[in-house]
Structure 1
Amino acid sequence: MPLSKEDNDLLTRVENGAPMGEMIRQHYWLPAVPSVKLEADGAPVRVRLLGTNLVAFRATNGEVGVLDEQCSHRKASLALARNEDNGLRCIYHGWKFNVKGEVVEAPNHTGNQEQFCNHVRVNRYITVDRGGIVWVWLGKGETPPPFPDLPFMDLPQQQRSVTSVEIPTNWVQGVEASMDSSHVSFLHESTTQLTAGPGNERQNMNKARAPKLDFEDRPYGYRYAALRPLPDGNVYARVNNFVMPWYGIICPPDANGPTTVFFSTPVDDTHHRAWFVHYNPQRPLGMTIMSASPDVWNFPPLPPGEAKDNWGQNRDIMKRGHFSGFPQHLGTEDFAMFISQGPVYDRSDEQLCSADGAVIRVRQLLIKAAREFAEGKAPTLAHHPDLNYRQIRSVGGVLPADADWHQLVD
């Protein structure tokens, strides 16, 4: 069933006090920047989350901080600040901020410096540097929500890669795609052939394009099996997980292969940042398309063109057999679809089918959480007593037609 305009706004809007944005701000950690992007005493990095302009930096001692971009004094940008002696110093008047957001020096003020600094109003954000990402909690209070302790968080650096890129569309468009199993058989058909290699289980997605979906609610969201009947009478099962509010944990191409976590975090109402975490809990990743990224802050690449030229779609390569005409990367194919939907996709005039069950559930869980928050309640799945991120597993495998897919994960 299509969403009403009111529910679509509730689902997508995150700025200016919108319930969804305030719920996320208070009850979830947000990824701010890849850890490697921050150098001790290096340049601050501008970050925008939920319509709020911020800067992230790594201090002299290696600690990380996230601050409001505008200086508390005269609102100059701290992206221009000097990063020195364990703090950011605004170059306009010399005010200095530590990683906690506290003003520690105001050298142009006469009188008691310590007393004055203690009375300057600042927003203080809690940060954590784990899993190759600097995370920030933008909420109010002293006690942050449970940290998303996903399986890649404490792996050695050589067993994971982290990249991200900003997309000029609303965040939910990206989240929905991470749980949309049937699009892989079409949009990513050629990419799967190129990257999975012959004999890889992922090739089975191109043999059966209409998967049957089976769902199971979990304390973090849900998991589901996309079941594809194969010509030999067996079934290819892919068990993936949706973790609130935006994580899609996708099964590896084979038992010893790397898992991917896709997540799309809201920059503002009309932009999001797509994150790709590629990890292998068994062994080092080695050289992959993701680990070889030349710019972890701008990868995968956006479509190479504009709307007037179909976002750079290459019809020549399509004539030669490439399905989508976007050979740059799997992510580029997705981004082209998001952008073609418009900055904020109108879900009030869509016509869904049996393959869209996982997308519908994503919407339902997010809308429920926003409504709970608007009613003054803590969202159920943000503080579920059985929440355990470490237990989440996404797997795939070929099973006899009468087998239960749960044997892959339980």
Structure 2
Amino acid sequence: MAISREDNELLTRTDHGAPLGEMLRQHYWIPVVPSAALEPGGAPILTRLTGIEYVVYRAGNGKIGIVDKMCPHRGASMALAMNEHDGLRCIFHGWKFSVDDDSRLIEAPNHGGNEEQFCKSIRSPRYRAHEAGGIVWAWFGQGEPPVFPDLPFTYLPEAHRFVTSTLVQCNWLQGVEATMDTTHAGALHQSFTALVSGNNERANLSKSSKPKFEFEDTPYGFRYAAVRTLPGGNQYARVNNFVMPWYGIITAPEPDGPSTVFFSVPVDDNTHRAWFVHFNLHAPLGVTQFTISPDVMNFPPLPLGDERSNWGQNRSLMKRGYFSGFPQHFATEDFAIFLSQGPQLDRSKENLCSSDMAVIRVRQLILKSVREFMAGEAPTMARGATLQYKNIVSFGGLFPADKSWRSLLEHRDLPGILATQK
């Protein structure tokens, strides 16, 4: 069932006061940059979120500051500013803004009157910053901030998680939907999976392309079991979680192994930043396909070239058995698909099938939230009293044909809400 063009607009547009963008800014903490990208006293980073440009920096005292790109004096870019011990100083006329949450003007050396009084008269937008899980997050709303999404990776020691991100030239929803599309893993990623998985459970993805789905609604979104019947009679389930508005928490390929959280954050209507948090609740990560990242702001790698060159797809390699033709990384395979869909996919032309049920649910939840916001209400799934982010975990495994996937909970040390369902 395709959606209407009107609903597609609601789901994708974030710029110029679009309802979705305003909802995200008011009701959610938004990931801005990986913590590792910010050096104390180092260069500020220009970033764009929901179509609006900001500058984020780590002052010499270690605090994080977020300000509008343009200095409120004469509009110079604060990305050029001097990063000092306790704030950011515009190099045009020397105006200095505090690194604290109020971002107040604290010096205006070219003002000839009462400088202290003048500084008090200049109002600067107040953007809250929070650092957790190797990410700098921001809240751009009014009033009291929402509950912070303290997902399992946010409280882990640094050795247990690694964060990377990259900029992708297409709409955010194309990335989010892929995190909940389990059957594409057995097709698009089949060669990459065969190379890196060996005998771990992820190899079962390519053994059955028609899983059965079971869904459970949760206060934060939903979780679903994709159950595959394997040759020999056993079943394999992957139980993944979708957390509003963009988090896909994906099951680890083996018990007690590393898991991944994928999320795609809108930069503007036609661009998003793809985030990857690789983490292990049970042990340090060590060397993985993510921890080898040379640049946390530009990894995994984008495909090479453009549409005229099929983004550098290697047809020679495909003839030798590598299915997708994009061997760089499994995320590179995803990026090639997203880019091939165009800057903004027209979902009114789709022909969906039974395996798209999780994607449909993602769209339904986002539409429901946007419509609640447009009606002047706080979205149901952004109401903090019911949210227990740290209890969310995804899991998978093999089980006999006469059992339910819930039998996988019987011998697992799972936190909070899942442990109560054993």
TM-score with structure 1 setting the length: 0.98
Structure 1 residue 152 corresponds to structure 2 residue 153: yes
- Provide the secondary structure at the position in 1 that maps to 2:42: coil
Q: Deviations over 1:265-318 (max 9, x none)?
A: 000000000000000011100011101100000001111111001111000111
Equivalent-residue separation in structure 2 for 1:112 and 1:2 (angstroms): 62
Deviation of 1:121 after TM superposition, in Å, equals 2.2
Equivalent positions of 1:263-302 (< 5 A) are 263-302=263-302
Q: Contact conserved, 1:166 with 1:271, CA < 8 A, in 2?
A: yes
8 Å CA contact 1:164, 1:273 repeated in 2:
yes
1:240-281 alpha-carbon deviations (Å, 9 max, x no partner) = 000000000000011121010000000000000000000001
Counterpart residue number, 1:211: 211
C-alpha distance in structure 2 between counterparts of 1:46 and 1:217, whole Å: 38
Residues 399 and 407, structure 2, Cα contact 8 Å, conserved in 1: no
1:104 Cα deviation after fit: 0.9
The equivalent of 2:390 in structure 1 is 390
Q: Does structure 2 conserve the Cα–Cα contact (< 8 Å) formed by 1:229 and 1:235? A: yes
Q: Distance in 2 between matches of 1:106 and 1:188?
A: 56
For residues 121 and 368 of structure 2, what CA distance do their matches in structure 1 show?
39
Question: What are the equivalent positions in structure 2 for 1:2-13 lying under 5 Å apart?
Answer: 2-13=2-13
Deviation at 1:113, TM superposition (A): 1.5
Q: Structure 1: which 5+ runs fail to align?
A: none
Q: Matches of 1:314 and 1:206 in 2, distance apart? A: 22
Structure 2 equivalent of residue 312 of structure 1 = 312
Aligned length: 408
Task: Look up the match of 2:124.
Answer: 122
Q: Cα deviation per residue 1:63-95 (whole Å; 9 max; x = unaligned)?
A: 101111111111100100000121110000001
| SS of residue in 2 equivalent to 1:385 | helix
Q: Kindly indicate whether the alpha-carbon contact (under 8 Å) linking 2:146 and 2:384 is maintained by their aligned counterparts in 1.
A: no
- What amino acid is the match of 1:145? P
Identity of aligned residues (%): 61
**What is the distance in 1 between the residues matched to 2:305 and 2:197?**
27
| Native 8 Å contact 2:399 2:408 kept in 1 | no
* 3-state SS, counterpart of residue 356 of structure 2: helix
The letter for the 2-side match of 1:32 is V
CA drift of 1:345 comes to 0.3
2: CA distance between counterparts of 1:366 and 1:117?
A: 41
Cα-to-partner distance string for 1:128-167 (whole Å, 9 max, x where unaligned): 01100000001112x1001001000111111100000010
Matched letter for residue 106 of structure 1: A
Q: How many angstroms apart in 2 are the aligned matches of 1:359 and 1:150?
A: 22
The residue type paired with residue 196 of structure 1 is S
Residue in 1 that maps onto 2:104: 102
User: Contact between 1:219 and 1:384, CA under 8 Å: does it hold in 2?
Assistant: no
Partner in structure 2 of residue 184 of structure 1: 185
Question: For 2:153, what is the secondary structure of its paired residue?
Answer: coil
**Following TM superposition, by how much is the alpha carbon of 1:384 offset from its aligned partner in structure 2, in angstroms?**
5.2
Structure 1: how far apart are the matches of 2:228 and 2:27? 37
Q: Structure 2 CA distance, aligned partners of 1:391 and 1:129?
A: 20
- 3-state SS, counterpart of residue 385 of structure 2: coil
**What is the letter of the counterpart of residue 168 of structure 1?**
Q
TM-superposed CA distance for 1:385, in Å, is: 3.0
Per-residue deviation, residues 305-336 of structure 1 (Å, max 9, x unmatched): 11001111000111111010000101100000
TM-score of the superposed pair, with normalisation by structure 2: 0.96
CA distance in structure 2 between the aligned counterparts of 1:408 and 1:335, rounded to whole angstroms: 33
Query: Unaligned regions of 5+ residues in structure 2, if any?
Result: 410-420
Q: Distance in 1 between matches of 2:406 and 2:109?
A: 64
* Residue number in structure 2 paired with 1:14: 14
Whole-Å Cα distance in 2 between the matches of residues 58 and 246 of structure 1?
Answer: 26
Residue 321 (str. 1) matches residue 321 (str. 2): yes
CA contact (8 A) 2:147 2:384 kept: no
| Equivalent residue, structure 1, for 2:417 | none
Letter in 2 for 1:314: N
Pairing 1:44-83 to 2, within 5 Å after superposition: 44-83=44-83
Matched, 1:250 2:256: no
